[in-house]
Structure 1
């Protein structure tokens, strides 16, 4: 039986491809989620954004074109007018990367260092100041899997972190951030060239935000050994965990992971136990870090 979700996305893809002067014949789905990713035979990847994401899609195109001007290896948009808008949805079209693997800590660190050291953009890329709390209050309020007590605690914890964020101590100079800096957003080809992917959350803010993602993988989740984390810091030239503001950024990233787990648990009750375990950890009920947090999905 044909999946209605796939059929609906494919029908939209055909209209998008036609508007871009391409054919959708032979298209294959890569991943259908918040964004639908499709592969076209002419080495093109089409990303269909969820409704209302026109500004974010346009920003991704502008950012990656700016990175190309500065020779930072990243995915490249097709040289056409983008985003393409069809049926109330927008899409961006990208050059397919050669065969690749996920990046390592040092490979991610090198790309982040190159990105963070770029001069401020000379033109408007549509970038906004980093909002590390985006959608958190809405997630907490909407998560039906939360009890009233859990919701109250999370909202109070969110308010505390917002106060701490507003009073962060001095750190490195603000710059263009990737925003979602983890190994899955680095692709390394067979020739050894590493590329940055996925610029949906790119913004302007403290570079420590990008570095904290890997520090949390090490300190909170024990997903990186001490040696792996040391190699990441060496490649970048800085250890964010030595900065007095790091605990605040760590707390925000941990809260994002907890609220995502409860958002998922509201849709898939089988994941509720993992969500409650994460909450108990940040409440101090499961001992010191690191904690065991399997994927929430």
Structure 2
């Protein structure tokens, strides 16, 4: 791993502005010309496309170096298993700029997953959950609430919201150990939504290995179910196509699904909350999601 000690401006917050400076430092270290780079997305990470090198640069938030190293290991493992997944760019990595881990990926010349690909998501998740685990490293046990508390503690939100979210977190943490799962544990993606698929030459390619873990397949399936039932992003017909492709409907798990759905809702809200200062649209959507968490009927959530 290469470590770079120069500090980006505005270290106290992770923003599009600080992301650009981290990009320039990391690309200089990797000897990549980042002229013409474009910001793809700012969320848990900042993703940049550098067309000069046909590379995607992924900048994680401070303190997640172990996850970046895991991503590198997962990529090697999936390549060995001939699983359709993003491939590493040929450079020594991850690079650390101050405390921000940076990884480099071959650009996938395709399109992002969309509503028409919901069955492909179900199919690729089934294949992933049945994939033989790695032999040269261990996938960590999933900690599906692990990022929520740090997000809440530093987010630009009112104190009343912070207290409510922390109480909800405590409640769900207390319920999680009592769940009795129906499926066998195995490799999981951990953030299994449609935007973590790319479609290249008609084939679904999995991206974003940050949350890969060894745990329950129900967690990956609960993401799409929550997007259907709470966010309203999938119609009943689309959700059934996902279920048919996978072969199991997690919503039929009557004594456990509601807990995973609530955890998904909390994760989705606190993920968005991190960037509430980035735009008025994100701030407004955060309020919509908070009203849903407080028990108001969901009018549907907007995707970012």
TM-score normalised per structure 2: 0.82
Contact 1:182–1:213 at 8 Å: present in 2 too?
yes
Which of 209, 214, 230 is matched with 1:220 structurally? Answer: 230
Instruction: Report SS of the residue matched to 1:92.
Output: strand
Which of 8, 12, 33 is matched with 2:25 structurally? Answer: 12
Which of 130, 135, 140 is matched with 1:117 structurally? Answer: 130
Match of 1:238 in 2: 248
Deviation of residue 68 (structure 1)? 1.1
Runs of 4+ in 1 over 6 A off after TM superposition: none
Match of 2:8 in 1: none
- Alpha carbons of 1:235 and 1:36: their partners in 2 closer, same or farther (altered >3 Å)? closer
- Alpha carbons of 1:267 and 1:141: their partners in 2 closer, same or farther (altered >3 Å)? farther
Which of 287, 291, 300 is matched with 1:292 structurally? Answer: 300
TM-score normalised per structure 1: 0.83
Equivalents in 1 of 2:96, 2:285: separation in Å?
39
Residues 1:129 and 2:141 aligned together: yes
Equivalents in 2 of 1:134, 1:128: separation in Å?
12
Match of 1:250 in 2: 261
Contact 1:221–1:292 at 8 Å: present in 2 too?
yes
Aligned alpha-carbon RMSD (Å): 2.7
Which of 168, 188, 194 is matched with 2:199 structurally? Answer: 188
Alignment of 1:87-236 (within 5 A): 89-103=100-114, 104-125=117-138, 127-148=139-160, 150-189=161-200, 191-236=201-246
Q: Based on CA coordinates, which of the two structures has the bigger radius of gyration? A: 1
Equivalents in 2 of 1:13, 1:67: separation in Å?
25
Contact 1:143–1:266 at 8 Å: present in 2 too?
no
Match of 2:33 in 1: 24
Contact 2:49–2:57 at 8 Å: present in 1 too?
yes
Which shifted more, 155-164 or 209-218? Answer: 155-164
Identify unmatched segments of 5+ residues in structure 1: none
- Alpha carbons of 1:134 and 1:118: their partners in 2 closer, same or farther (altered >3 Å)? same
- Alpha carbons of 1:258 and 1:231: their partners in 2 closer, same or farther (altered >3 Å)? same
Identify unmatched segments of 5+ residues in structure 2: 1-15
Contact 1:51–1:88 at 8 Å: present in 2 too?
yes
Instruction: Report SS of the residue matched to 2:231.
Output: coil
